[in-house]
């Protein structure tokens, strides 16, 4: 039977090609995801190895999750005098005190050197540092000299010997490029500038007299473990000693954890693509079985058992799955190759060859083959159970089962889904609300899929009305062909329905999020002008100059720092803490008080802290609790005086600016936003022009009106929407292949009918028009049903997620209408090949076809 199955594929190759392509597209996503993750992991592992090459490190004692926030915890430092003491330890070849901070480098084109969201860092240059290799020129020796990392020099358009401008320590400085340096590994687009040691100590030292860490290199004959043991006396008083291997392993584990989220995110879309592809495969084999009834019955008549017939169909499915998966693996690797080029063009180079590991290949082959076999199981069972005598009659008719039980099942599952959604909507504050929402949405989707054949007849009849009225007789013929087999129509449209349901839901959620953010930010921001930075850090010089403007009535800087925070009974964990000048809350920023004192919130005194509602819920903090916050001067106990909600401030804890100054030196704080209100008699336009003039030398600083600020926040949702549309587009493409596949198989199945229609006078163009209308009706039916389900499900989310900022419901009717119009175009394009194929059938051959 295996040989019979393979001959069946060869004899009906066209029937299986599009199914094979659907598998290939879905598997390409799976293989590409694994390969991309491996390449990203290898790239970031290389960055870790290059950034932490030493055998041991003496550093500030880190809380358990310190690496999560910018690779650092507090503004504490390692005393500078320890560098010489560590260097004197037996077995130490080099002890390098490392310093780093933010810098803005102006390239040859007059703009900041920056790629993607990678950081722009200044590092201290130490001639004895084994991790640095000067490949051109020399290292910086005095103030005003810098050396650039190789990739940074190339992306800047500058050359060794050129003079440019940099913003370091908040000040605009002219610098000369004296060398090009290799750090021994990729930097993933980060801008790396090396400055001389004295400048680093003056500007980058966390507390003016220390280093971030001491990188220790072992002498020949000394192992990292032995080195760590000899450095053990330096541990204590807030310091720790770790081996380089342990540090690198922890960093790589953190990166792997974060990449795991990306992998899961992409695999979800791969699963959607394969699920949609399963509809095509099932439809292909169902139609193939219908057309091969006489052949299958003959096999039964000559001795083949039902199990053998069943197995022969599954073998064909397995071959389709295996070949499609193999193509998918190749396609996935090609996809990663293209993505690698794109990322390289924006400054993020992925190192190494494209990985082709056994795990990726095996998982991809197994997934693709399993999906194909499972999708073909029901058609195979049907093939095995058809009585031979029925199938060998002259007029082969395949009895269709009643849709009654399917409708009952669909109604039952849909009702359960609606019930779950109703419970989530009536009790959105319950912890189970999100689970009920997800389960309910899934049940509703399954219920609609089961009910779609029942709905198809009536829905297609309505959709076909314009064609029936305006395009006679092809409109009536097309409608009859579509509603004649509602199962096939529903299965074909089902693939598109799933994709469009997701697209519709994402569109509604995205627009609702934009409306919610826009409304909330407009209500919570009182500033006339908002100053932001492309690097997320506004230089301190710009902060001071904006504050000194006579056109500025008030200038409230939002400063923050990552600090170790612990509540009652908690271990210290790193979190961002914002410092605000007295009166900022209620003046530039409006917040909603949840608990505590409004007066205390608007004027935070020493020893007080306010926390967001989300942070309070996560940690169980309440008004009156004491939180311990560790800074450079040691830990401080701060009492929670208020719990609030806001969409403007991006950190969970807020203290007065004076309190943050005692925790972190002002020069080590970072300012990401300045909220400026105009002085009396000054218009917003005049204020914006004045602020733009003083921040112009800082290159990366932008000045926005409140409306522009809100628009920028909404644009971030648009960027995410584009990514989601691109990923969901794969499922739509596969669904379109399903329509093409079904129409092509339908043409084959109706060859004799087509011949008779041509014999009684139906023209070629009319025949092609009939196929095209069938395609359009199927595509529009799937799109309208999918969008209706997606919009309805998305409409439930603002109620459940109102506390998370999704407070308003907005439906993008114009976008949804555009998708329906797109469905018409898709239907026309999908019908091109089947329509041409049908029109080219020879009349006599078609009439004689069996």
Whether 218 maps to a domain, the answer reads yes
Instruction: Compute the distance between CA of residue 116 and CA of residue 190 in angstroms, rounded to an integer.
Output: 9
End-of-domain residue from the set 227, 244, 261: 244
| Same-domain check for residues 510 and 657 | no
Q: What is the mean pLDDT of residues 83-90?
A: 91
| Same-domain check for residues 803 and 830 | yes
Res. 73 pLDDT band, cuts 50 70 90 = very low
**Helix (H) or strand (E) segment spanning residue 105:** strand 100-105
Q: What is the mean pLDDT of residues 513-517?
A: 79
pLDDT at 136: 93
pLDDT at 9: 62
Instruction: Compute the distance between CA of residue 133 and CA of residue 113 in angstroms, rounded to an integer.
Output: 22
pLDDT in tens, 516-535: 777 777 778 888 899 988 77
pLDDT at 66: 46
Whether 92 maps to a domain, the answer reads yes
Instruction: Compute the distance between CA of residue 264 and CA of residue 423 in angstroms, rounded to an integer.
Output: 29
- In order, the DSSP letters of 385-416 are HS-HHHHTSSS---PPPPSHHHHHHHHHHHHH
User: Is the Cα dihedral 202, 207, 213, 219 positive or negative?
Assistant: positive
Whether 269 maps to a domain, the answer reads no
Q: Are 215 and 98 in contact (CB under 8 A)?
A: yes
> Which pTM value belongs to this model?
0.72
Residue 67 scores a pLDDT above 60: no
Whether 437 maps to a domain, the answer reads no
Res. 777 pLDDT band, cuts 50 70 90 = very high
End-of-domain residue from the set 196, 220, 244: 244
Structure tokens at 33: 């995801």
The Cβ of residue 248 has, within 10 Å, a number of other Cβ atoms equal to: 18
Res. 558 pLDDT band, cuts 50 70 90 = very high
Residue 347 scores a pLDDT above 70: no
Residue 89 scores a pLDDT above 50: yes
Whether 13 maps to a domain, the answer reads no
Instruction: Compute the distance between CA of residue 628 and CA of residue 639 in angstroms, rounded to an integer.
Output: 9
Structure tokens at 340: 């690698």
Among candidates 637, 574, 573, which has minimal Cα distance to 609? 637
Instruction: Compute the distance between CA of residue 41 and CA of residue 36 in angstroms, rounded to an integer.
Output: 8
| Same-domain check for residues 639 and 688 | yes
From the centroid of its chain, how far is CA 217? 39
End-of-domain residue from the set 244, 261, 281: 244
| Same-domain check for residues 615 and 675 | yes
pLDDT at 345: 66
Average pLDDT of the chain? 83
Instruction: Compute the distance between CA of residue 244 and CA of residue 235 in angstroms, rounded to an integer.
Output: 15
Residue 68 scores a pLDDT above 60: no
| Same-domain check for residues 725 and 764 | yes
- CA angle 18–22–25, rounded 5-degree value: 130
Among candidates 752, 779, 276, which has minimal Cα distance to 478? 779
| Same-domain check for residues 619 and 555 | yes
| Same-domain check for residues 683 and 740 | no
Total domain count, the chain: 3
Whether 433 maps to a domain, the answer reads no
Give me the domain span that covers residue 667.
Answer: 535-699
| Same-domain check for residues 754 and 833 | yes
pLDDT in tens, 811-821: 889 888 988 99
| Same-domain check for residues 91 and 236 | yes
pLDDT in tens, 369-421: 998 899 888 888 888 877 776 655 545 455 556 778 888 998 999 999 999 99
| Same-domain check for residues 849 and 718 | yes
| Same-domain check for residues 491 and 578 | no
Residue 13 scores a pLDDT above 90: no
Q: Which residue has the higher pLDDT, 712 or 849?
A: 712
pLDDT at 348: 61
Whether 484 maps to a domain, the answer reads yes
pLDDT in tens, 167-222: 888 788 899 999 999 987 767 678 899 999 988 888 887 655 688 889 999 999 89
| Same-domain check for residues 690 and 622 | yes
Whether 799 maps to a domain, the answer reads yes
């Amino acid at each position: 039977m295996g040989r019979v199955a393979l001959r069946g594929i060869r004899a009906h190759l066209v029937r299986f090609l599009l199914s094979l392509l659907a598998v290939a597209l879905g598997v390409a996503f799976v293989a590409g995801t694994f390969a991309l993750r491996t390449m990203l992991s290898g790239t970031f592992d290389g960055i870790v190895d290059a950034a932490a090459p030493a055998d041991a490190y003496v550093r500030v004692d880190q809380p358990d999750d310190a690496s999560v926030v910018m690779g650092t915890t507090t503004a504490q430092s390692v005393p500078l005098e320890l560098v010489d003491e560590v260097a004197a330890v037996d077995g130490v070849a080099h002890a390098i005190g490392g310093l780093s901070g933010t810098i803005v480098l102006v390239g040859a084109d007059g703009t900041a050197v920056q790629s993607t969201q990678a950081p722009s860092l200044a590092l201290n240059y130490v001639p004895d540092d084994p991790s640095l290799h000067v490949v051109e020129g020399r290292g910086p020796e005095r103030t005003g000299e810098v050396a650039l990392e190789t990739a940074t020099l190339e992306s800047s358009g500058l050359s060794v010997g050129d003079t440019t401008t940099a913003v370091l320590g908040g000040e605009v400085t002219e610098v000369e490029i004296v060398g090009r340096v290799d750090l021994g590994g990729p930097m993933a687009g980060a801008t790396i500038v090396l400055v001389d040691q004295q400048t680093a100590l003056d500007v980058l030292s966390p507390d003016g007299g220390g280093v971030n860490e001491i990188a220790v290199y072992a002498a020949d004959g000394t192992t990292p473990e032995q080195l760590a043991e000899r450095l053990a006396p330096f541990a204590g008083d807030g310091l720790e000693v770790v081996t380089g291997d342990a540090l690198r392993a922890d960093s790589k584990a953190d990166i792997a954890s974060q990449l795991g989220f990306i992998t899961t995110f992409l695999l979800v879309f791969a699963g959607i693509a394969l699920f949609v592809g399963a509809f095509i495969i099932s439809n292909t084999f169902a139609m193939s079985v219908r057309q091969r009834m006489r052949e299958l019955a003959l096999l039964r008549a000559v001795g083949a058992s039902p199990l053998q017939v069943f197995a022969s169909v599954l073998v064909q499915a397995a071959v389709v799955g295996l070949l499609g998966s193999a193509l998918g693996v190749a396609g996935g690797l090609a996809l990663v190759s293209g993505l690698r080029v794109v990322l390289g063009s924006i400054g993020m180079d992925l190192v190494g060859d494209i990985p082709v590991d056994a795990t990726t290949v095996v998982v991809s082959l197994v997934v693709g083959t399993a999906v194909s076999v499972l999708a073909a199981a029901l058609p195979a069972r049907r093939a095995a159970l058809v009585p031979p005598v029925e199938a060998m009659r002259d007029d082969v008719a395949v009895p269709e089962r009643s849709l009654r039980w399917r409708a009952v099942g669909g109604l039952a599952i849909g009702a359960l889904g609606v019930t779950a959604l109703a419970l989530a909507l009536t009790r959105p504050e319950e912890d189970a609300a999100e689970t009920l929402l997800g389960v309910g949405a899934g049940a509703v989707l399954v219920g609609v899929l089961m009910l779609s054949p029942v709905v198809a007849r009536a829905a297609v009849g309505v959709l076909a009305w314009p064609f029936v009225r305006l395009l006679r007789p092809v409109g009536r013929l097309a409608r009859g062909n579509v509603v004649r087999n509602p199962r096939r129509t529903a299965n074909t449209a089902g693939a598109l329905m799933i994709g469009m349901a997701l697209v519709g839901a994402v569109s509604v959620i995205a627009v609702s999020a934009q409306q919610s953010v826009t409304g909330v930010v407009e209500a919570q921001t009182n500033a006339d002008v908002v100053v932001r930075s492309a690097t997320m850090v506004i230089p301190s010089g710009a902060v001071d100059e904006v504050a000194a403007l006579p056109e500025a009535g008030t200038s409230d800087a939002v400063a923050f720092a990552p600090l170790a925070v612990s509540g009652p009974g908690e271990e210290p964990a790193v979190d961002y803490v914002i410092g605000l000048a007295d009166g900022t809350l209620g003046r530039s920023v409006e917040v909603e008080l949840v608990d505590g004192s409004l007066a205390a919130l608007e004027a935070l005194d020493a020893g007080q802290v306010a926390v967001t509602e989300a942070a309070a819920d996560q940690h169980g903090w309440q008004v009156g609790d004491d939180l311990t916050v560790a800074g450079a001067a040691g830990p401080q106990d701060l009492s929670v005086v208020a719990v609030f909600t806001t969409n403007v401030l991006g950190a969970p804890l807020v203290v007065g600016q004076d309190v943050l100054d005692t925790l972190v030196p002002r020069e080590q704080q970072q300012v990401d936003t300045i909220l400026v209100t105009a002085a009396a008699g000054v218009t917003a336009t005049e204020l914006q022009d004045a602020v733009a003039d003083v921040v112009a030398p800082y290159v990366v600083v932008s000045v926005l009106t409140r409306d522009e600020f809100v628009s920028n926040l909404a644009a971030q949702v648009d960027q995410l929407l584009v990514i989601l549309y691109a990923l969901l587009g794969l499922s739509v493409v596969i669904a379109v292949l399903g329509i093409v596949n079904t129409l092509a198989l339908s043409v084959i199945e109706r060859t004799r009918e087509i011949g008779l229609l041509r014999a009684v006078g139906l023209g070629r163009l009319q025949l092609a028009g009939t196929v095209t209308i069938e395609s359009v009706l199927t595509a529009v039916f799937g799109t309208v049903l999918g969008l209706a389900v997606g919009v309805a499900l998305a409409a439930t989310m603002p109620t459940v997620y109102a506390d998370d900022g999704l407070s308003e419901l907005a439906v993008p009717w114009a976008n949804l209408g555009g998708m329906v119009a797109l469905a018409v175009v898709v239907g026309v394009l999908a019908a091109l090949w089947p329509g041409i194929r049908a029109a080219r059938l020879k009349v006599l051959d078609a009439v004689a076809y069996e």
